[in-house]
């Protein structure tokens, strides 16, 4: 896990990795980790004004297409 090593979350947080740039979402390392089906992804980002498109992010989540980063969480039953 050399690619994800610098995105490790602090011990007091529930995520395993956080602040991962969205450009790395489909990297081989992330893909292999997600294929174990022991983790889930939460997308993170801000509200955006993209020309004629205005995306006002709900507080509880962010859509993948407007995300800047993402975090990886373990499923609770593992």
Note down pLDDT in tens along the chain; length 78 residues. Answer: 578 999 999 999 999 999 999 999 999 999 999 999 999 999 998 888 878 878 787 777 888 888 999 999 998 755
pLDDT the model gives residue 77: 57
75 by Cβ neighbours in 10 Å (0-12 / 13-18 / 19+) ranks as exposed
Instruction: Determine the Cα–Cα distance for residues 26 and 74; give it in Å rounded to an integer.
Output: 18
User: Which two tokens mark 52?
Assistant: 């004629």
Name the residue range of residue 31's domain: 5-74
pLDDT the model gives residue 37: 92
Tally DSSP H helices, then E strands, for the chain: 1, 5
pTM: 0.84
pLDDT the model gives residue 11: 93
pLDDT the model gives residue 12: 94
Total domains, the chain: 1
């Amino acid at each position: 896990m050399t690619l994800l090593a610098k995105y490790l979350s602090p011990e007091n947080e529930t995520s395993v990795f956080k602040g991962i740039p969205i450009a790395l979402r489909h990297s081989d390392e992330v893909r292999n980790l997600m294929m174990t089906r022991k983790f889930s992804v939460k997308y993170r980002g801000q509200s955006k004004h993209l020309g004629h498109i205005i995306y006002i992010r709900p507080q509880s989540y962010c859509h993948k297409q407007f995300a800047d980063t993402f975090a990886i969480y373990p499923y609770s039953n593992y």
